[in-house]
């Protein structure tokens, strides 16, 4: 039998993608040029937001969101322990304080009831914002979070890195795409190779708020503007002003070309992810492993396909022996040595920690072949059902 080597996630680069990059390399702009504009417009249209700002990576996107919302030293912001550390770190970049709240045990996303408990057991004004994460591609109920945030005067940054193309149906029966800006001030995406769209590195902020959009454009390029409407004075065509302290968080034009080319396949790839999930669901139904709960009206974008098993380490090792490189998402952020120094400790969030002790992400990417998936299913069941 052919030796397998199956990762948990993988980019898909076509000849059309290669062509798009080559064309841009041969054109006039290497860093931010016309492809950035095109990609931002197409991406905003894809998620259904008014504005989009392309950035060098998802972490830079989170940092600028925290800056645009004016996170100050000591400001308290709530997020989930079950995410990539960057979701929390953006608060720290601005000197703010990260406060974690536990997850829902069956969907693995931030538990709104735990957030409500936190808000109601502290004086009004204690917290500034919430960073919910569409974990694994499962959309957070942002309509409910918006209502809660409004009651307490908080902003929301939706970390939608896992969920381009995911959506939930709100109480008015309307499909709300992840990152469309209806219920959150800002949303962020990543174009790291394991994500739905792979630009090598890359990120995006989407929003419907024009003032935040203008601020983000400036923060992306050192805090500099050339916009005549915003200048304090104008010495001529060359003139620019640095009005605030920003960064160089630009994306290159050839990365934007690569991402834009992949965006054309986003819907087709989503269907493939859903088909892969369905096949896993059917193969694992009634077996000795637990699946993520999928609520009616919540359309998972399936960045990850997560199972929970009792002997997770055993299964992880067994799959590796067979060339299947499953992964664990994530080590809870509050148990990281860096965050432990702020007083967080193992035992603080039982649901997150229980999830972490049993979770495993199985291979999930559009080019996973049917034969490869059969092999993964066979090996998983061989181990769990023995």
Ligand X SMILES: *Cc1c(COP(=O)(O)O)cnc(C)c1O
Q: Which residues bind ligand X (CB under 6 A)?
A: 57-59, 83-84, 86-87, 133, 159, 161-162, 190, 192, 203
Helices vs. strands in the chain: H and E counts, helices first: 13, 17
Q: CA 207, 209, 212: angle at the middle one, nearest 5?
A: 90
**Strand-pair category, 76-79 with 97-100:** parallel
CB of 116 to ligand X, least distance (A): 23
DSSP-H helix ranges across 86-194: 86-93, 112-120, 142-152
Closest to ligand X by CB, 304 vs 376, is 304
Spatial neighbors of 383 by CB under 8 A, at least 6 apart, are: 311, 314, 315, 318, 319
CA 71 to chain centre: 20
Min CB(336)–ligand X separation in Å: 14
Tokens of 284: 């694992």
Closest to ligand X by CB, 17 vs 159, is 159
Closer by beta carbon to ligand X, 164 or else 181: 164
Cβ closer to ligand X: 128 or 196?
196
Nearer to ligand X, 160 or 376 (CB): 160
- Beta bridge partner(s), residue 133: 159
The residue whose Cβ lies closest to ligand X is 58
Q: For ligand X, which is the closer residue by CB, 87 or 208?
A: 87
* Distance, CA of 43 to CA of 37 (rounded, Å): 10
**Measured CA distances, 172 to 14, 57, 239, 301, 332 (Å):** 40, 34, 49, 22, 35
Q: Please name the residues in contact with 106: beta carbons below 8 A apart, sequence gap of 6 or more.
A: 292, 293
């Amino acid at each position: 039998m052919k030796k397998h080597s199956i990762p948990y996630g993988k980019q898909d680069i076509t000849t059309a993608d290669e062509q798009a990059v080559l064309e841009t390399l041969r054109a006039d702009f290497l860093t931010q040029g016309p492809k950035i504009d095109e990609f931002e417009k197409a991406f905003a249209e894809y998620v259904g937001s008014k504005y989009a700002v392309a950035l060098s990576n998802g972490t830079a996107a989170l940092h600028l969101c925290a800056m645009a919302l004016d996170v100050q030293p000591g400001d308290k912001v709530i997020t989930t322990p079950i995410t990539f550390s960057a979701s929390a770190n953006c608060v720290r970049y601005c000197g703010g304080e990260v406060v974690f709240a536990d997850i829902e045990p069956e969907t693995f996303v931030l538990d709104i009831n735990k957030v409500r408990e936190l808000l109601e057991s502290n004086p009004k004004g204690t917290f500034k914002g919430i960073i919910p994460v569409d974990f694994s591609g499962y959309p957070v109920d942002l309509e409910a979070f918006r209502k809660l945030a409004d009651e307490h005067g908080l902003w929301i940054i939706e970390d939608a890195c896992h969920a381009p193309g995911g959506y939930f149906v709100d109480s008015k029966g309307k499909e709300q795409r992840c990152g469309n800006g209806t219920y959150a001030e800002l949303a962020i995406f990543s174009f790291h190779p394991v994500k739905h769209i792979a630009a090598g590195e890359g990120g995006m902020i989407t929003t419907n708020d024009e003032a935040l959009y203008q601020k983000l454009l400036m923060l992306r390029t050192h805090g500099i503007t050339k916009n005549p409407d915003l200048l304090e004075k104008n010495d001529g065509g060359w003139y620019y002003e640095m009005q605030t302290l920003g960064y160089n968080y630009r994306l290159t034009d050839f990365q934007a070309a690569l991402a834009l080319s992949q965006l054309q396949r986003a819907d087709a790839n989503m269907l493939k992810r859903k088909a892969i999930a369905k096949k896993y669901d059917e193969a694992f139904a009634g077996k000795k492993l637990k699946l993520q709960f999928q609520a009616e009206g919540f359309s998972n974008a399936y960045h990850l396909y997560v199972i929970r098993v009792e002997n997770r380490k055993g299964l992880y090792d067994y799959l590796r022996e067979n060339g299947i490189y499953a992964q664990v998402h994530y080590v809870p952020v509050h148990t990281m040595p860096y965050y432990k120094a702020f007083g967080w400790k193992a035992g603080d969030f039982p649901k997150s920690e229980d999830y972490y002790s049993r979770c495993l992400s199985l291979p999930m990417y559009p080019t996973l072949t049917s034969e490869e998936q059969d092999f993964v299913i066979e090996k998983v069941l061989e181990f769990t059902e023995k």
